[in-house]
Structure 1
């Protein structure tokens, strides 16, 4: 298993709500840290410490009563595999997901903003002119998120390249607006703190869809809170699942509320390089022609190329039904996916059926499209740095008797058929003894399972949710309270609590409609 990669000397610190600013400054000064960035409104401080003091600073900050949590800033990078060196004769990806039929209903709307968290966007590219709205550069800390690599321009083009303009290629949502949020440098490397700050900035500035063709092996609470913030704001979050040919989790794709995307081919088979597993909801075409720097085009392959396909379809969905909620768009994507076996949870996305699931139908014949003329295109160069493989969750749960939770009571005889039942809440109290605890809940109705764990005396705990097939579908770790929220299928789930200390805990499980 690859070792987690962290940013040297970089920590993420969050104080307990209500802590006075003077005390925050004192705690950070006592730990000999230097403030680099504040992620608002998460109130997370990004600080640097000198070489050799990282572990000491973590210990000192963790012991401060005013600190809610401290963690290392994990590294992330883009997910681009060595590209296919054959020339494409046509864009098979949009055709496979039935984008032309979806365009009969909507070609997108400039009012729907899709944020691209990547290396920036080359807004001068002929296929991206008039598509880009103002964004931000969290690498250099300015308002000029220009692309110095090409990866971000390629992902943006898959989403929203201008179409029917007699040049280049067709984007999925070719009238949507694109917001460049630069969180990766010229080497396609970045930090979770930059991604978290970019997420917050994007949704605060109107982004309805977030596309993240990046990821890393190590989760951080800061990025998880940024994801939760964006979800609460109603944004649809999409991320690449990774290119390590494994079931290992990658973040942000594995966070609850993010649609992880695998890469599939013309025959709806996952590419050999794609990550997979029940934690990955959908697949999408993993090789797409895309714009590049200096007006060029490239063959773009990887889950980095698949994720923007889903983001583009989400943009189409919101263009056709602007008042749709994040949950409605997500469910439409999942319900309409074409089954492709067990490599992903739901299947390969379908633009036409996603729109139909939201009630978006063609209103008039679509204009004749000037589909792209096949052109020779160079291959996108492979990344210089070695890829960071996502880290699997070690299976250290000791065998022990499962502790089933009571099934929800049957509906009263007078209940109206089809009426949503009231949520069921179960509270469990006990004491951690150093060994993992396991509880069984379900079978559930369709709805949502929310697990909240509190243990004030424990410094670090892990809360894990496993489905009926034994696949880990959600995980969070850190100081409590910890909260997991996951869409529930009508099956049993297992909830694990892991920690190395003895401490009393309270686990609250809420099941039913959210």
Structure 2
């Protein structure tokens, strides 16, 4: 049943003295009935009292109950809480997508990925995506659930990568984006790359699982979000993106977050768009179960709307970020808000998981925070963690390098044995010497093309071992040194 249908069924017409038509809706309450309790008996008791069960979420033992018109919300919660078999009762609150309405449609380059100072930005105020992509570009084995307004599945930017999703707003299996917010978010996170079309996502290889929890007006309910979290967890999502703000902190929603975390999901959420202190107000971002993401500008300054507070973990580009249009056209729009910053971090988490699928939520969080660039913003970006920038501005390249704890391996025998055609040995530029040096390999777990430095051994006298200094360096700056030996031996 859709939100629209659910609300329409409860509409009552009231005609005030002024003669203007006003629509009133019945309140809704979320109650939990533990598995050990006779749920059928509880539901029968509720119906006898005039309550109506609209929906249920068995995985968490939750029921969505409609309040009779004769009762206020507070008294209804009190009565339901006192009902035998009910563990708790709380209002079905609402939230909204964390969007600042975009108004600049001419921002033509993806500065969050590669900021060269275009558009008046500051060079380097980005996540170093180009360097990072030389190490990893994601994997189809990693699934990212986007809990939002849905997406346009036929869009070329998502072709071949969208998994069967769900719509908890309209209660069907078609999470079509009728608002645009979800497509913006999904494009920033995971738009196809190298397809001569549109934009490139942070992770352009992951599988996308669209879960519609926001309606066409960019609003959603606690119950729909709890359903979305449980669905994403049960579907095997590795990362869950929540570009959502201003949901109330409820027992049901916290239970759903715990459910997803216990299932192994990495949870990434908005830090809020209300500025100072909002990271400690806006939910689900303020939950310690999530990675809370604030927003920065193309000059590495905190976006004026970006939420601050103790709950903030890190920041990412989030003002005038180029985003995928809902229309199936080769275009983009500038998108602002923590909703734009959050998918950048979710995409980063997915890339990290493509390198090491065993990483947990806490391990991903630690590497994102440790890899963030600190002290690059305003004076409020003080050394170490602060309430304005968290641990710093996200950097995909640096976070990836934290997965590569050692230098490359040098693959070669301890002694390189060469045949000398005569008693004079071999010169340093002899083809046999050059071929032997080229046979030395460097192999790295992360960098597909580590560099190899070999100091020329000079002339090789016949029968004498000569030390050979070899150094292998990867893109992250890790080095391995090894001393080999090389000898020219009599062919006979």
Q: TM-score, normalised by structure 2?
A: 0.70
Counterpart in 2 of 1:237? 267
Counterpart in 1 of 2:308? 276
Whether the aligned pair in 2 keeps the contact of 1:40 and 1:197 (CA below 8 Å) is no
**How far is 1:336 from its partner?**
1.1
Matches within 5 A, 1:144-223: 144-223=174-253
- Structure 2 CA distance for partners of 1:16 and 1:128, relative to 1, 3 Å: closer
Q: 1:356 aligns with which of 376, 401, 407?
A: 401
Structure 1's unaligned 5+ residue stretches are: 1-6, 366-514
Whether the aligned pair in 2 keeps the contact of 1:13 and 1:70 (CA below 8 Å) is yes
Distance in structure 2 (CA, Å) of the matches to 1:361 and 1:170: 22
Distance in structure 2 (CA, Å) of the matches to 1:318 and 1:241: 23
Distance in structure 2 (CA, Å) of the matches to 1:193 and 1:15: 15
Counterpart in 2 of 1:48? 66
Whether the aligned pair in 2 keeps the contact of 1:211 and 1:308 (CA below 8 Å) is yes
**How far is 1:47 from its partner?**
1.3
Whether the aligned pair in 1 keeps the contact of 2:43 and 2:53 (CA below 8 Å) is no
Matches within 5 A, 1:423-434: none
**How far is 1:40 from its partner?**
3.0
Counterpart in 2 of 1:345? 390
Distance in structure 2 (CA, Å) of the matches to 1:118 and 1:52: 34
Q: 2:337 aligns with which of 302, 317, 340?
A: 302
Counterpart in 2 of 1:33? 51
Distance in structure 2 (CA, Å) of the matches to 1:97 and 1:344: 15
Whether the aligned pair in 1 keeps the contact of 2:93 and 2:248 (CA below 8 Å) is yes
Matches within 5 A, 1:98-497: 98-248=128-278, 249-286=281-318, 287-296=320-329, 297-340=332-375, 341=381, 342=386, 343-359=388-404, 361-364=446-449
**How far is 1:113 from its partner?**
0.6
Q: Which runs of 4+ in 1 moved over 4 A?
A: none
SS in 1 for 2:254: helix
Whether the aligned pair in 2 keeps the contact of 1:111 and 1:176 (CA below 8 Å) is yes
Distance in structure 2 (CA, Å) of the matches to 1:129 and 1:104: 23
**How far is 1:161 from its partner?**
0.3
Per-residue CA shift, 1:340-395, capped at 9, x if unaligned?
A: 41303211111011112122622148xxxxxxxxxxxxxxxxxxxxxxxxxxxxxx
Distance in structure 2 (CA, Å) of the matches to 1:239 and 1:327: 14
Moved more, 246-255 or 300-309: 246-255
Q: 1:58 aligns with which of 66, 69, 77?
A: 77
Which protein shows a greater Rg? 2
Determine whether 1:15 maps to 2:33: yes
Distance in structure 2 (CA, Å) of the matches to 1:101 and 1:40: 45
**How far is 1:194 from its partner?**
0.4
Whether the aligned pair in 2 keeps the contact of 1:278 and 1:344 (CA below 8 Å) is no
Distance in structure 1 (CA, Å) of the matches to 2:37 and 2:229: 25
**How far is 1:64 from its partner?**
2.1
Distance in structure 2 (CA, Å) of the matches to 1:344 and 1:90: 24
Per-residue CA shift, 1:191-219, capped at 9, x if unaligned?
A: 01101100100110011000011122521
Per-residue CA shift, 1:78-103, capped at 9, x if unaligned?
A: 11113242622421101210111111
Distance in structure 1 (CA, Å) of the matches to 2:78 and 2:288: 29
Higher relative contact order (CA 8 A, sep 6+): 1
Superposed CA RMSD: 1.6
Per-residue CA shift, 1:230-256, capped at 9, x if unaligned?
A: 111111111111211231311111112
Q: Which has the higher helix share?
A: 2
SS in 2 for 1:242: coil
Q: Which has the higher strand share?
A: 1
Q: 1:82 aligns with which of 101, 104, 109?
A: 101
Whether the aligned pair in 2 keeps the contact of 1:118 and 1:182 (CA below 8 Å) is yes
Structure 2's unaligned 5+ residue stretches are: 1-24, 115-125, 376-380, 405-444, 451-492
**How far is 1:17 from its partner?**
4.4
Whether the aligned pair in 1 keeps the contact of 2:26 and 2:68 (CA below 8 Å) is no
Whether the aligned pair in 2 keeps the contact of 1:27 and 1:61 (CA below 8 Å) is no
How many residue pairs end up in the alignment? 359
Distance in structure 2 (CA, Å) of the matches to 1:326 and 1:245: 26
Distance in structure 1 (CA, Å) of the matches to 2:98 and 2:70: 31
**How far is 1:131 from its partner?**
2.1
